[in-house]
Chain A
Amino acid sequence: MAELRATQMLVPNMHLLTVFAPEVARGMRPGQFVIVRAEEEGERIPLSVADWDEAEGTLSIVFMNVGGTTNALAALPAGSTLPTVVGPLGKPTEIDHYGTVLCVGGCYGIGSIFPIARALHQAGNRVIVVLEARSSFLLFWEERLRSVADALHIITRDGSKGLRGHVGRLAEIIAAAQPIHRILVNGCTFLLKRVADVSKPFAIKTMVSLNPIMIDGTGMCGVCRVSVAGATQFACVDGPDFDGHQVDWQELLQRRKQYVREETLAYRSSRGEEHRICQGHAHA
């Protein structure tokens, strides 16, 4: 059980939770995640961690309201109790002195790329941050990310800020900033795939933080399996970071859609209304 200390809607549909979970905060490293239950009857969902404060014993979690569980989470007021917050889970992101690194964040990944960018910055890398969103009003934490970056670029679909267009425009940023020694991406599966596609011709190692369906998060259920370089890996314990050029994206995207129909049902029933569900294709 974990006390919800504060809640905030950062931008429409994107929420920040501050959770008191000192045991989890103590061991947290960039790139790790937690499994959360919003209610007693709730499912267990994996959420990336956007920051933590060991002294305060708190975690910051940014997530997008897309389904029944995230909707229930978003509706909880500060002071309520989350039945489950367990972690830190998964392997931490490999932090090293690479030289120049590109950190790309979209959706909730704008939050979870922050501790990674910070750690890479502290490790002496030249850090270039790229934030991707449909429109400028969906951007958040820009200043916070700027504080740990040597340069920051923005791509918006509607051109309301930064470069106009989809993530394909990342190619221009990469070309201009070469040599880049590593790319790290956090965000929805579709964004991860697109970044991996864009970076492949440049032959820059691109680590993507996968977020497949999970239940226990400790390697027990095997639902999070992904094919990487032809071998089956469990994202919860072997990942969540993998080489984006080796991931079988088609399989992963299909596996993520397994429960779309049920998700919709749960979401509608949790809201008592019908609502459009944000899918990866919004980035297409």
Chain B
Amino acid sequence: MPEPSKKKLDLHRREMPKQPPEVRRRNFNEVALGYPVETAVEEAQRCLNCPKPSCISGCPVEIDIPRFIQCIAAKDFAAGIRVIKEKNCLPAVCGRVCPQEEQCEAACLLKKRGGQIAIGRLERFLADWEAAQGELEIPPVPPPTGRRVAVVGGGPAGLTVAGDLIRLGHAVTIFEALHKMGGVLVYGIPEFRLPKAIVHREVNYLRRLGVQIVTDFVVGKTRTVDSLLEEYDAVFIGSGAGLPWFMKIPGENLNGVYSANEYLTRMNLMKGFLFPKFRTPIKEHRRVAVIGGGNVAMDCARTALRLGAEVRIVYRRSREELPARAEEIENAEEEGVIFDFLTLPVRYIGDGNGWVKEMECLRMKLGEPDASGRRRPIPIEGSEYRLPVDAVVCAIGNSPNPLIAATTPGLEVGKNGNIVVDEETGKTSRERVWAGGDVVTGAATVILAMGAGRKAARSIHEYLCSL
């Protein structure tokens, strides 16, 4: 292999400016501020432009990463964003919420030396640069094929399928159950991590490409999948994982105990933090415990913090096993979220008026690794103690919403309620029906849902061309 570059390796990853913790913990503005132009160019110039780039294989939607990075290095930002958009219709979203450290950046050759290229930050930079130029560039759409596709769910999977198929000339209609498009991007991920204006911008981009959008339409209730199949050549189900889990412990239905979905929906989709201008209320709690250790738990904790509460994350394993992104854990720590590791809630205690007042917890220790490869938490007998709380947010996971499976005869469903598909194509057990995203995998990440959407779109396109 030839030397990739004569210059000395620059292993110094450029930092992205952030709002200082003491400021941002009092506002809902975006925490990370994005690279300034010079920093982005410097960071891009560190890329080795490997002849056999491994970063692309780390990207579920196969963005030509070295090519867009070279565009930034050459300061041709317009060309760079075009490269990304060949594969990704949501770059401003993915640049912010993808777990790049486990995907593209994990595969970067420089990672071994501790200086992997900040691919996500560069993707974000290009998307934001384009938005700052004013109008988004709308690529030409081919003549209509006359084929029609119904997409169920306006989240990351559905948006990707719609974006891919519209650019292949098929007519696409998205049916979204809520009143706003974006799925988890609008109801789940907080403003300070993903400003909603960015989601609306990217949804508008699809609209301008010609995608039809129907909100307030619950497939499985307003109409069934079978009824859509009478009108459309194919149906893609990307309805997400919207059924919250609870721990089934005493006191869980006390007032003040929320599912993460409820808490985040009140805050994000319904803008509870602007009550009463926005009508959906959220209580101002003093002591909030968030149960769980994933990204959703971090989002809930940091939201509660911004409403003025003392917030603790209660997690049954140790810091090492936290499933959240490293960056989000650090952000939470910087902002002042308290972490109670090796702690398991066993019951909630009410104040006599129906409100949660305390939670009883058990201390845990770690045993041998379990099926997940992580060390199993074991309760320490007699270690019960009580923690005063006036709100608890349960962020321990979600399974697929059963509405569609229950109303679609012949659709094969796994034991967790997930729709069973062929992994390569997204095909379900029903003719002309595809599925992808969290409804197939259970709660996962935005980019995995988009990757599934891309595979399904490819398979749907093949099918439509065969008609």
Residues of A within 8 A of B (CB): 1, 23-24, 27, 37, 39, 41-44, 68-69, 72, 83-89, 215-216, 218-223, 225-227, 232, 237, 250-251, 254-255, 257-259, 262-263, 265-266, 269
Contacts and interface: CB of A to CB of B under 8 A. Distances in A.
B29 interface: no
Interface residues of B, number: 40
Interface in B199-224: 216-218, 221-223
9 contacts: A68-B279, A86-B217, A216-B177, A218-B221, A220-B187, A220-B401, A221-B259, A254-B354, A265-B276
Q: Is the interface of A mostly helix, strand, loop or mixed?
A: mixed
Contacts of B403: 218-219, 237
B276 A219 contact: no
B98 interface: no
Contact of A27 (B222, B244, B259, B353): B222
Contacts of A262: 275-276, 281, 283
B271 A222 contact: no
Nearest to A88: B221
Contacts of A23: 217, 222-223
Contacts of B266: 215
**Residue in B177, B221, B252, B283 whose Cβ sees the most chain A Cβ within 10 Å:** B221
Interface of B: 177-179, 187, 216-218, 221-223, 242-244, 246, 248, 252-253, 255, 258-259, 261-262, 265-266, 270-271, 274-281, 283, 353-354, 401-403
A236 B274 CA distance: 26
A251 B276 contact: no
A255 B271 CA distance: 21
Q: Return the 7 tightest CB-CB contacts between A and B, nearest first.
A: A254-B354, A262-B281, A220-B242, A222-B259, A43-B280, A221-B262, A86-B216
B173 to A, nearest CB: 13
Given A84-B179, A215-B265, A216-B177, 14 more contacts: A41-B271, A43-B280, A43-B281, A68-B279, A84-B216, A86-B218, A87-B218, A215-B280, A220-B187, A221-B244, A221-B259, A223-B258, A258-B283, A265-B276
A266 B281 contact: yes
A251 B258 CA distance: 15
Contact of A232 (B187, B248, B270, B275): B248
A85 B279 contact: no
Nearest to B243: A219
A220 B222 contact: no
Contact of B222 (A43, A83, A86, A269): A86
Given A218-B177, A232-B252, A89 B221 contact: yes
Given A23-B217, A216-B177, A87 B279 contact: no
A218 B221 CA distance: 9
